[in-house]
Amino acid sequence: MKSIVILISGRGSNMEAMLKAKLPCRIAAVISNRPDAAGLGIARSHGIATAVVAHAEHASRELFDAALGAEIARHQPDLVVLAGFMRILGDEFVRRFHGRLVNIHPSLLPSFPGLHTHRRAIEAGVRIHGCTVHFVTPTLDNGPVIIQAAVPVYADDTEDTLAARVLAQEHVAYPQAVRWLVEGRLMLTGDGRVLLDGECRNAAVLLVPQSDDSLLHQPLSPARERGAT
């Protein structure tokens, strides 16, 4: 059975979704860069080993990356899962775990890399938003896509309502991606393609319809519509 290490920084709801999904793998440890991350308590309550590698206690990114890498290596995981891990990892770290380092980002990449994705999606007036699980490469929020989940953006959405809608789909998409990985069904090729069951399959894109809301019944924003062509 494969083993994984999950890295968190805060709430840990994606990590918790993974624990609840009963994935066919061993969760060797949950590691946080923040000692006060709420997710650490959740992991412990599931009997998972936890560790803290505090970025604040390291003088440079390189030293932090080295300490984090050493803590991960102790567990010899097949896969390192970034689940709301809010530190940028250096090139050397990313290369060390190439092909077995995955992340979830709360937007439909390549749109909205970086922070405040939900606010930026609303400001940009997009009608569809979502999340992306991807392999991590040295460029931030830019690696090969494994799975995406899409949700509608409504005219009366706030950052919070949109974030909650996306998060619900994160909790579906991320466990699915990790399941494929630990089952040995999904891999990254040397030339950066993502193969599922040995093939490049767009079936790995998940469009999640919202059954409780109807797009057709949402009021359109007049200001936004005036600007539209």
Among 69, 77, 84, 175, binds ligand GRF (CB under 6 A): 84
Q: Does 175 bind ligand GRF (CB under 6 A)?
A: no
Nearer to ligand GRF, 77 or 117 (CB): 117
Among 29, 40, 101, 106, binds ligand GRF (CB under 6 A): 106
Q: Does 83 bind ligand GRF (CB under 6 A)?
A: yes
Which part of the chain contacts ligand GRF (CB under 6 A), choosing from 99-107, 176-184, 195-203, 211-219?
99-107
Answer whether 117's CB lies under 8 Å from 126's CB. no
What are the two backbone dihedrals, phi and then psi, of residue 67, each rounded to the nearest 5 degrees? -65, -40
* Residues contacting 50, CB < 8 A, separation 6+: 29, 30, 31, 32, 40, 43, 44
What is the C-alpha to C-alpha distance for residues 125 and 45, in angstroms, rounded to an integer? 41
Q: What string of DSSP letters covers 106-120?
A: SS-TTSS-SS-HHHH
Catalytic residues: 105
- The token duo for 7 is 């890295």
SS3 217: helix
Window 114-173: residues binding ligand GRF (CB under 6 A): 131, 167, 170
Nearer to ligand GRF, 72 or 102 (CB): 102
Work out how close the CB of 183 gets to ligand GRF at its nearest, in angstroms, rounded to a whole number: 22
Binding site for ligand GRF (CB under 6 A): 8, 10-14, 39, 83-84, 104-106, 131, 167, 170
